[in-house]
Amino acid sequence: MTDRSDSRRYERIGILGGTLDPVHFGHLRSAEEVREQLGLDQILLVPAARPPHKLSGSITPFFHRFRMAELAVDGVPGFSVSDMEGQRPGPSYSIDTLVRLRQLYQGAQLFFIIGADAFLDLGSWKSYEQIPSQARLVVVSRPGISMEQMINRVEGLFPDARQVAGLEGGMPQFETGRGGKILFVHVTLLDISSTNIRQRSRSGLSVRFLLPEKVLEYMTENQIYVRRKTGSEDGRRSGEDLLDSESLARRIYREVVDNKGEKVVVLDMRGISPVADFFIIAQGRSTKQVQGMASRMKRDLSREHIRCQGIEGESEGSWILMDFDDVVVHLFYEPVRGFFDLEGLWYEVPRMPWGYDDKAGKGPEQES
């Protein structure tokens, strides 16, 4: 495989890396505004092949993510895609990528673009202190993260950094002791995430207008992020007996309740959805509680050979989707549940009587 990035010579190149699973309008609009504000000649999308923070998790194969990135910017002036990460072995560390890009684009100024959320976590990255020396580090705004938080993080990560004259509009810049530069750029705040797109898609919800139409068509044609029932016995065994889907739903419901899940609604999707026979929807009072619920459920149910086939949103904790084959569990942080309102979307779907009755606003029937 060869590097498919634009081989023309540019003086100022913006680098947008990450998993891009999938690429969406939040990525693209932020990159476009950075290109415009900083006068960049080109934005180069560089999907990570093996993200070090996701080595133990499941990510979409590189060739799909790369192809979706290609389709997203097909025919768009000022944007191109590189498959360089797919050509080299080992984890995709940003510092190694930047060193290689400096070799490929000698004489060009590189601008490494990351979100404010990623910048808060920068201290966990390999050789993070060298990144601003390899490329100007461009930090773009994200919903819910203040400029004060960012400046405090600069001081923690780069104690020798000093603030210099900022960009037009008052956004600050810093110079580090190693000669590197950190720039903060305000962009239109589009609260779109790849995690949420995957969750919506696997829940049978629309993702139109969250990402380019060509990407959506590719996802549909290749059945990416489509949650399909496997029919595998491995995900539905308890001891030696294969659980039917209703018994499985009842067992998982009890596990949610035992782990302090609140207002646990059980939707009977049999004959309605190809995604699963039952959806279980519950909430916790904090993201930490939701994360703890998911972790304990995976551990305790696996002891009964009821295995979670896949999980989304575990690191954020605001909406965690757990796939138990015939049963899909949605664990929400309480305020987020109302925003997505899955119960309202499936208002006509029958509720199991042993779950919370969201229509009547009352608890479950007493189990014998």
> Tell me, what CATH number does 29's domain have?
3.40.50.620
Does a structural domain hold residue 44? Answer: yes
Question: Per-residue pLDDT for 232 more than 70?
Answer: no
Question: Per-residue pLDDT for 157 more than 90?
Answer: yes
249 and 140 together in one domain: no
Distances (CA, A) of 347 to 22, 267, 281, 343: 30, 9, 13, 6
Question: Final residue of a domain: which of 149, 169, 185?
Answer: 185
Pick the residue with more confidence: 11 or 165? Answer: 11
The percent of residues above 70 in pLDDT, for the chain, comes to 89
> Which tens digit of pLDDT belongs to each residue from 103-134?
999 999 999 999 999 999 999 999 999 999 99
Question: Final residue of a domain: which of 131, 161, 185?
Answer: 185
Apex CA 288: angle with CA 287 and CA 291, to 5°? Answer: 85
> Which tens digit of pLDDT belongs to each residue from 41-55?
999 999 999 888 765
Question: Per-residue pLDDT for 1 more than 60?
Answer: no
Containing structural domain, residue 315: 230-368
Instruction: Give the least confident one: 42-56, 202-216, 285-299.
Output: 42-56
Rounded to an integer, the average pLDDT of 30-41 is 96
Rounded to an integer, the average pLDDT of 339-350 is 90
pLDDT of res. 241: 42
30 and 167 together in one domain: yes
Rounded Cα gap, residues 350 and 343, in angstroms = 11
Sign, Cα dihedral of 108, 113, 119, 123: negative
pLDDT of res. 356: 87
> pLDDT confidence of 170, banded at 50, 70, 90?
low
33 and 176 together in one domain: yes
Distances (CA, A) of 42 to 141, 262, 268: 20, 49, 50
Does a structural domain hold residue 198? Answer: no
168 and 282 together in one domain: no
pLDDT of res. 202: 84
Question: Per-residue pLDDT for 169 more than 70?
Answer: no
Question: Final residue of a domain: which of 124, 159, 185?
Answer: 185
Sign, Cα dihedral of 29, 30, 36, 39: negative
Distances (CA, A) of 116 to 79, 151, 328: 22, 11, 32
Question: Per-residue pLDDT for 90 more than 90?
Answer: no
244 and 367 together in one domain: yes
Question: Per-residue pLDDT for 295 more than 50?
Answer: yes
Rounded to an integer, the average pLDDT of 172-177 is 90
pLDDT of res. 5: 52
Does a structural domain hold residue 211? Answer: no
104 and 251 together in one domain: no
Overall number of domains in the chain: 2
Does a structural domain hold residue 1? Answer: no
Peptide bond into 22 cis (omega under 30): yes
pLDDT of res. 7: 47
38 and 97 together in one domain: yes
Highest mean pLDDT (candidates 1-5, 6-10, 154-158, 345-349): 154-158
> Tell me, what CATH number does 293's domain have?
3.30.460.10
Pick the residue with more confidence: 223 or 294? Answer: 294
pLDDT of res. 233: 39
Does a structural domain hold residue 348? Answer: yes
Does a structural domain hold residue 201? Answer: no
256 and 178 together in one domain: no
172 and 298 together in one domain: no
164 and 307 together in one domain: no
> pLDDT confidence of 168, banded at 50, 70, 90?
low
Rounded Cα gap, residues 343 and 13, in angstroms = 46
Question: Per-residue pLDDT for 250 more than 50?
Answer: yes
239 and 174 together in one domain: no
Pick the residue with more confidence: 143 or 43? Answer: 43
pTM of structure: 0.73
| Mean pLDDT over the full length of the chain | 88
pLDDT of res. 27: 97
169 and 310 together in one domain: no
Question: Per-residue pLDDT for 236 more than 50?
Answer: no
Does a structural domain hold residue 195? Answer: no
Does a structural domain hold residue 217? Answer: no
Question: Per-residue pLDDT for 366 more than 60?
Answer: no
